[in-house]
Structure 1
Amino acid sequence: MSAEATAPRVVVLDHGSGNVRSVVRALEAAGAEVELTADRKSALAADGLVVPGVGAFASTCEQVLAVGGDRLIERRLAGGLPVLGICVGLQILFDAGTEHGVRSAGLGQWPGEITRLEASVVPHMGWNTVEAPTETRLFAGIEEERFYFVHSYAARTWEMEPIGSLPAPLVTWAEHDGDRFIAAVENAALTATQFHPEKSGEAGAALLSNWLRTLPRRGTAAGAAEGLEEPVR
């Protein structure tokens, strides 16, 4: 991103998840102007919205719902405005997650269920390579790099069918102890990673820079939010 270009404005959704400060710092280092907030107007006005998540599927989903994050995500996507989920922030985008025998509803942006990894060593913790599709923009120039994972659950199948003439989502895979799982998804305005780019060193910084390059520049916060506000009922 050139020094002359206006820095993209990014909101990191403050829903009570841990590790958010490192996400904020990583985005700032990648060239973004970042605000940590759950404020509706700010989240709708931002060029990009990041939904982080650590810990359990059910509790993260409850936290996101509690601050209206589901409605913010829906509203942004309806306007074609970018959203990035990280770690459990990817997982809750699916229909459901099952942890310790308990099935919980997700946000339902993608069909499928988050399940426990079938590996001899769980959690999957550490650096791993990914298998990105050739058309990827998120992994452009870093397809062979390693990224930092820490998780016991994952989306282990991709169930979304093509919709009409819309481009099919780009799905990136990784493998742990013979078990394949989804490492990232690029689905128009909705992008997510199972790994932590903010913990992935230079490769993670490059990935965040790639995502920032896809963001629109939407002018002032007030003007950008105006067209996305829901009518008063």
Structure 2
Amino acid sequence: MKTAIIKYNAGNIFSVSHALKRLGVEAILTDNPEELLSADKIIFPGVGEAGTTMKHLQEHGLDRLIRDLKQPVLGICLGMQLMCRHSEEGDVDCLGIFDTDVKRFLPQRQEDKVPHTGWDTISSLQDPLFKGLSPEEYVYFVHSFYVPVNPFTAAVTDYILPFSAALHKDNYYATQFHPEKSGRIGERILTNFLEL
């Protein structure tokens, strides 16, 4: 099985690569269209800012390529947000795979801290990505923007308000949290993705 990580100006590419190595998977890191199109599984990671990242994807033709992929694709954190229609971060139009927008967290109480950083639970797990997991598992988040609960929501976390911890549509899967930093649970989610 050939697994590819999309190479672009994202911050967590190497932690994703190391997490896959721990599972015995040597992923290729590439922005080459032929290599991406021929891969069995593709991971679209992301730590960064939506506006500059979309500009980079467009300049390299990766925006069209990602929208045309037919194999299972896993977006992580900013990767998930870029798969949505529009982001308030940089007021930018994104890939439009998921017909929903990305919103900025607005603290409601003194104890609401943004970014949402650290371990939190995921619930309402309704996806093959979460096979074998019990409700209320803990995973690791770092984000200041969120995707509201919508018809593509595959898992929910409640921080300031309920939001989409994961999305799924056709061959596109996405997590707001970082499975590569979520210990045993994250490894199980990555394994489930690789076994799709």
The two structures have a TM-score, normalised by structure 1, of 0.77
Equivalent of 1:115 in 103, 119, 122: 103
2:17 alignment partner AA: V
Alignment length (residue pairs): 191
C-alpha distance in 1 between matches for 2:143 and 2:11: 14
1:26 alignment partner AA: A
1:32 touches 1:212 (CA, 8 Å); kept in 2? no
Question: Is 2:55 the counterpart of 1:62?
Answer: yes
Equivalent of 1:211 in 187, 193, 196: 193
The offset of 1:170, in angstroms, is 5.2
Matches within 5 A, 1:1-233: 8-77=1-70, 81-99=71-89, 102-119=90-107, 120-133=112-125, 135-143=126-134, 144-158=136-150, 160=151, 169=152, 171-177=154-160, 179-214=161-196
The offset of 1:71, in angstroms, is 2.1
The offset of 1:152, in angstroms, is 0.4
The offset of 1:33, in angstroms, is 2.9
- SS of the residue 2:69 aligns to: helix
- SS of the residue 1:138 aligns to: helix
C-alpha distance in 2 between matches for 1:20 and 1:98: 24
Q: In terms of Rg, which structure is larger?
A: 1
Identity score, percent: 36
2:84 touches 2:95 (CA, 8 Å); kept in 1? yes
C-alpha distance in 1 between matches for 2:76 and 2:148: 16
State the partner residue of 1:222: none
2:32 alignment partner AA: D
2:39 alignment partner AA: A
The offset of 1:49, in angstroms, is 1.0
Q: Please, which runs of 5 or more residues in structure 2 have no aligned partner? A: none
2:139 alignment partner AA: F
The offset of 1:104, in angstroms, is 0.8
- SS of the residue 2:180 aligns to: helix
C-alpha distance in 2 between matches for 1:176 and 1:29: 30
Which fold has the larger relative contact order, with Cα–Cα distance below 8 Å and residues 6 or more apart in sequence? 1
